[in-house]
């Protein structure tokens, strides 16, 4: 146990372990994430419905969704996908959480096509006018995963197609602190249905504007960990990543609201054109 806890306290190399998929596919956690996605009392998994409406309106203003073929990557329970469809787009939603996709299919009267797939690994449809990746999903990926995803998105889009995403900004990174927390049933039972002790240790990598929230969950019969990496961006750094993958940044603004893109207190909404 000493060696286990000692390792937990050490600062890992960036992206030494990635556990993003566990949050969305492990049975108890996937139900918790779906609950958080739908809740209007927390923004841990999704924005409020009002904020989602504003984001969808912003996307529509950028590309005019009527008649467009759109793929919403990481669509979850379809909160954005259904709204895109309601504005006239032909929508495909992709997510590796079978629980979230089942909810989307069961609670939708729309014609959205939902696919259970890992957008980093599985075969994806092509010929889209627009591909979206919303709620800073891009920020949880490793550099190599981001390179691979951008190559895949480029193949999904028609020439001149738009990739629309949002990323967290350097101003948000400056608000982060390195902390250590230990609590019985950390986060109110989020991590397991029974008794457990949860530890959270936050590491900041200031030279690369990267954060890690490392969780250790100690149940009576097992111990396990979750590594939540999160990359923060300037306009220049996200533009360079997109341009190196064959995209040209057409629009960037703060908070999907037409705000000044130099305002680094809000996520940055980006429209990138397949060049």
Q: Which of 87, 112, 84, 95 is nearest to 37 (CA)?
A: 95
Quick: pLDDT tens for 124-171: 999 999 999 999 999 999 999 999 999 999 999 999 999 999 999 999
pTM across the whole model: 0.94
Kindly report the three-state secondary structure assignment for every residue of the chain: CHHHHHHHHCCCCCCCCCCHHHHHHCHHHHHHHHHHHHCCCCCCCCCCHHHHHHHHHHHHHHHCCCCCEEEEECCCCCHHHHHHHHCCCEEEEEECCHHHHHHHHHCCCCCCEEEECCCCCCCCCCCEEEEEECCCHHHHCCHHHHHHHHHHHHHHEEEEEEEEEEECEHHHHCCCCCCEEEEECHHHHCCCCCCCEEEEEEEEECCCCEEEEEEEEEECCEEEEEEEEEECECHHHHHHHHHHCCEEEEEEEECCCCECCCCCCCCEEEEEEEC
Mean pLDDT calculated for residue range 8-24: 92
Answer whether residue 44 shows pLDDT above 80: no
- Going by pLDDT thresholds of 50, 70 and 90, the confidence category of residue 214 is very high
Mean pLDDT calculated for residue range 51-70: 96
- Going by pLDDT thresholds of 50, 70 and 90, the confidence category of residue 20 is confident
Quick: pLDDT tens for 158-173: 999 999 999 999 999 9
What confidence score (pLDDT) does residue 110 get? 79
- Going by pLDDT thresholds of 50, 70 and 90, the confidence category of residue 264 is confident
What confidence score (pLDDT) does residue 256 get? 85
């Amino acid at each position: 146990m000493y060696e286990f806890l000692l390792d937990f306290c050490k600062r890992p190399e960036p992206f030494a372990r990635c556990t993003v998929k566990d949050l969305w596919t492990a049975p108890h956690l996937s139900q918790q994430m779906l609950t958080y996605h739908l809740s209007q009392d927390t923004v841990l998994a999704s924005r409020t419905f009002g904020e989602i409406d504003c984001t969808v309106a912003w996307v529509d203003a950028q590309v005019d969704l009527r008649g467009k073929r759109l793929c919403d990557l990481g669509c979850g329970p379809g909160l954005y996908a259904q709204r895109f469809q309601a504005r006239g787009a032909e929508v495909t939603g992709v997510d590796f959480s079978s629980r979230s996709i089942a909810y989307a299919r069961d609670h939708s009267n729309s014609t959205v096509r939902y696919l259970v797939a890992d957008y980093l690994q599985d075969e994806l449809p092509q010929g889209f006018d627009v591909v979206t990746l919303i709620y800073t999903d891009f920020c949880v990926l490793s550099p190599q995963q981001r390179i691979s995803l951008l190559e895949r998105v480029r193949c999904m889009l028609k020439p001149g197609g738009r990739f629309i995403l949002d990323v967290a900004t350097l101003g948000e990174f400056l608000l982060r602190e390195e902390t250590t927390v230990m609590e019985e049933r950390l986060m109110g039972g989020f991590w397991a249905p029974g008794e457990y002790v949860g530890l959270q240790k936050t590491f900041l990598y200031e030279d690369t504007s990267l954060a890690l929230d490392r969780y250790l969950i100690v149940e009576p019969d097992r111990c396990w960990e979750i590594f939540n990496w999160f990359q923060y961006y300037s306009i220049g750094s996200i533009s360079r990543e997109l341009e190196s993958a064959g995209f040209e940044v057409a629009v960037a603004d703060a908070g999907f609201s037409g705000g000044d893109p130099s305002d680094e207190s809000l996520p940055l909404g980006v429209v990138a054109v397949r060049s």
